[in-house]
Structure 1
Amino acid sequence: MGPWHYLPNPWRQAVLDLPRDRFATLEEIRFRLNRPVYLYGTGWQAPLSEKVVSAEDMERIVAVLAEYSLYARADELSRGYLTLAGGHRVGIAGRAVVVRGHVESVRQISGLNVRVARAVMGPGQALWERIEAEGLPLGGVLLISPPRAGKTTLLRDLIRVLSDQGRRIVVVDERSEISGFGGTGGSGHDLGMHTDVLDGWPKKEGIEVALRTLGPELIAVDELGDGGDLQAVFKARYSGVGMLATVHARSRADLVARREYRECLESGVFDAVVTLAAQPAPGTVTEVWTYGGRR
């Protein structure tokens, strides 16, 4: 189910009334205080309507997206987003409420970025065939790209492909974006026959639980972050478990310039690094390489 179904009217109906080509390629719905709502798609952008978003509108939209329970979603809000069933994420702009040096919540919300998560079948198989053709082992695969270039979509399809080959995979899905985990306890996306999901677990703790209790051959995570995440990745690899992961990086040089990731590459934690681009379409593989030279 698309994220527009969670919006109140008139915005939900306006999105549903889009021309077919616009609807099929819609990537983001942006609400900004005192401005019209804007839509962003593959190669296009356009206003949804001329009506500007008032403070009352913003409050109503946030309440609906949070299912009228902002308190229950406080942890997500403190990290600047809400996740909707289906893996759709709503980024939040506003004033941070900082308590003892940590962001506790967000108030005076001034912007919402409703991102559309789409399941795409095919690129995962093509990538796996390319990795096999390059003669690279499936020990650690890292997908890198700038934001909105298709990392999560490609990771999701690669998980499905490898799982349906019989590999036992555990997805540590901190923000419910890979699986699209729903309130009924089921995944909104097809992740294959042999996949288990740890939904809402921080990556470090989830990787440790997966190693202790679920016996994976591969662990998959999205958007690696600080040193704690990487320490858990090291532990998984040294335990003989493979890793499928993504991280924000604009290029090979950008990734290698970051000391902690350069150390990962030097240690052989990732056997293959896949660089993605948003053009001509999100998820475009521009190169598959290993540290020290392209293969």
Structure 2
Amino acid sequence: MPQPLMELFPNSLRQVLEQLPAIARDSLEEIRIRENRPLEISYGSRYSFVREDGTLTDDHQGAFVPGREQCRALLERVTNHSIYAVEEELRRGYVTVSGGHRIGLAGRTVLDKGLVSHLRDIAGFNVRIARARIGFGAQVLPGLLDFKAKTIRHTLIISPPQQGKTTLIRDLARCISSGQWHHPSALDWGSRKVGIVDERSEIAASDRGVPTFDLGPRCDVLDACPKAEGIMMMVRSLSPEIIVVDEIGRPEDAEALNEAIHAGVRVLATAHATDLSDVFGRPVLAKLAAERVFGSYVLLWRAGGKVEHRIVSAEEAEQEVSRRYSRAAGASPRDAPATISKAANPSLVPQVQTEALVTVKARPMPVIRSPAPNRQGDINNA
């Protein structure tokens, strides 16, 4: 665990975490601290509770339990002893600290005219550890290239949370900004100007405006800036060739992305989704997909402790989702004649060629006979 992050924890918590086994410490992803509840960590796609001596257990009964004073001390350090200074972040439910580590917060919400104003009585913390993985993008970037334009296609990276989306776009930005295309046909392309709108301060982990992660020599960052507004600021004043944003999903995000695309800027974005059906099922993403805004989709998932990926073109995505809608429509038995039903929202799913109906010949039902009465000997032997 990075030492600056470790220093945020009160002494008693820090002593427990410093004793974690090397296998957990080296692959640590999340630390969950809940007042008067067991200390939990997530590492290498696994989770465990932590005993006071740093050993791991699946039994929460024997785990170390942080108390009220420890949680108060952690909140003081996370907010740099000024809750008001991070009021906007508290309204969103997280604080990003130096190094790009995001700390999710749980507590009581305070409402103002029906909207969340801020959090109070904070008693839960989810410390998400940010790491740069140099070389991650080299596995994916060759499949995203637009060889005619000598750049990347508009790309959306999708996965559930904690699968590596932010880590991937960070390394893709570094590769593109450095001109490392990782393809023999792109050796003479040179680098591109990359603009990152880092709303949650996770991609670049900027410290006073300066990225602490390696993003290459031709990268500009708008730190802690709302995505939609930041995209337009980038287009108007920083002339990026590629814009990178994390976790899109609001209508204003889609409008800003369309503006950037029509201004000649390529887009690299991420979104929370399990698969392509989720993309076509979320209104904002479905609209972008139906308009073929994205030329490529990258699906990420964890398998055996590793992050795997699959690249799908826009055409393949439409066909795949159309087939799924066709199979899922209605409640017909699996062996029923094939028919085509309209999807729940035909405007979001491209139409596919109607399949020919299959004629199924009726077969005579087998005759079911009752068993003959048992003989007396059978009864006696029963």
Change (3 A) 1:66 1:51: same
Q: What's the CA shift string for 1:127-177, capped at 9, x where partnerless?
A: 012234999962311100001111001110111111101110110000100
Answering whether residue 154 of structure 2 is matched by residue 140 of structure 1, we say yes
Q: Name the structure 2 match of 1:99.
A: 112
Correspondence 1:135-174 to 2 at 5 A: 138-165=152-179, 166-174=191-199
Q: Which amino acid aligns with 1:231?
A: E
- Matched letter for residue 108 of structure 2: R
Greater share of residues in strand: 1
Q: Distance in 1 between matches of 2:147 and 2:275?
A: 20
Q: CA deviation at 1:270?
A: 0.9
Please say if residues 139 and 241 of structure 1, whose CA atoms lie closer than 8 Å, have aligned partners that are also in contact: no
1:88 paired to 2:114: no
TM-score, length of structure 2 as denominator length: 0.73
Identify which of 185, 188, 192 aligns with 2:216.
Answer: 192
**In the alignment, what sits opposite 2:303?**
279
Question: Given that residues 146 and 152 in structure 2 are in contact (C-alpha distance below 8 angstroms), is that contact kept between their aligned partners in structure 1?
Answer: no
User: What is the correspondence of 1:1-295 to structure 2 with a 5 Å cutoff?
Assistant: 1=2, 3-48=5-50, 49=52, 50-132=63-145, 138-165=152-179, 166-183=191-208, 185-281=209-305, 283-290=307-314, 291-293=317-319
Is contact 2:13–2:66 with CA below 8 Å preserved after alignment?
A: no
1:266 positional shift: 2.6
- Of 47-56 and 32-41, deviating more is 47-56
Q: Which amino acid aligns with 2:240?
A: P
Provide closer, same or farther for how the CA distance between residues 208 and 161 of structure 1 changes in structure 2, counting only shifts above 3 A. same
Determine if contact 1:157/1:191 at 8 Å carries over to the other structure: yes
Identify which range, 3-12 or 60-69, moves more after superposition: 3-12
Q: CA offset at residue 43 of structure 1?
A: 3.6
Contact 2:143 2:311 in 1 (8 A): no
For residues 105 and 274 of structure 1, what CA distance do their matches in structure 2 show? 35
Structure 2 vs 1, CA of residues 43 and 222 (structure 1 numbering), >3 Å: closer, same or farther?
Answer: closer
Tell me how far apart the structure 2 counterparts of residues 117 and 161 of structure 1 sit (CA, whole Å): 19
- C-alpha deviation, 1:263, in angstroms: 2.2
Q: Which has the higher contact order (CA 8 A, sep 6+)?
A: 1
| Offset from partner CA, 1:32-66 (integer Å, 9 cap, x none) | 12112111111432223343222222111111111
Moved more, 218-227 or 283-292: 283-292
Percent identity between the two aligned chains: 38
Query: What is the CA distance between 1:27 and its match in structure 2?
Result: 0.6
8 Å Cα contact 2:137/2:169 also seen in 1: yes
- Provide the aligned length of Structure 1 versus Structure 2: 293
AA matched with 2:313 = W
State whether residues 169 and 194 of structure 1, in contact with CA within 8 Å, keep that contact through their aligned partners in structure 2.
yes
Larger Rg: 2
Residues 46, 260 of structure 1: CA spacing in aligned structure 2 closer, same or farther, 3 A cutoff?
closer
Please provide the CA RMSD for this pair.
Answer: 1.9
* Structure 1 SS opposite 2:7: helix
Shift in alpha-carbon separation, 1:277–1:259, aligned structure 2, 3 A: same
5+ long unaligned stretches in structure 1: none
In 1, the alpha carbon distance for the partners of 2:44 and 2:223 equals 29
Q: Residues 101-121 of structure 1, C-alpha deviation per residue, up to 9 Å, x if partnerless?
A: 221111111211001111001
Contact 1:150 1:282 in 2 (8 A): no
**Are the aligned partners of 2:89 and 2:95 in contact in 1 as well (CA < 8 Å)?**
yes
Counterparts of 1:282 and 1:225 in 2: how far apart (Å)? 27
Q: Alignment partner of 2:31: what SS?
A: strand
Q: Answer whether contact 2:198 2:221 (CA < 8 A) is retained.
A: yes
Give distance in 1, aligned partners of 2:177 and 2:89: 29
Amino acid at match of 2:160: P
Q: How far apart in 2 are the matches of 1:22 and 1:83?
A: 23
CA distance in 2, matches of 1:135, 1:289: 16
Counterpart-to-counterpart distance in 1, 2:243 and 2:170 = 12
Q: Distance in 1 between matches of 2:147 and 2:279?
A: 21
1:219-270 deviation digits (Å, cap 9, x = unpaired): 1000012100110001000111011100000111111122332221232211
Secondary structure of the structure 2 residue equivalent to 1:204? helix
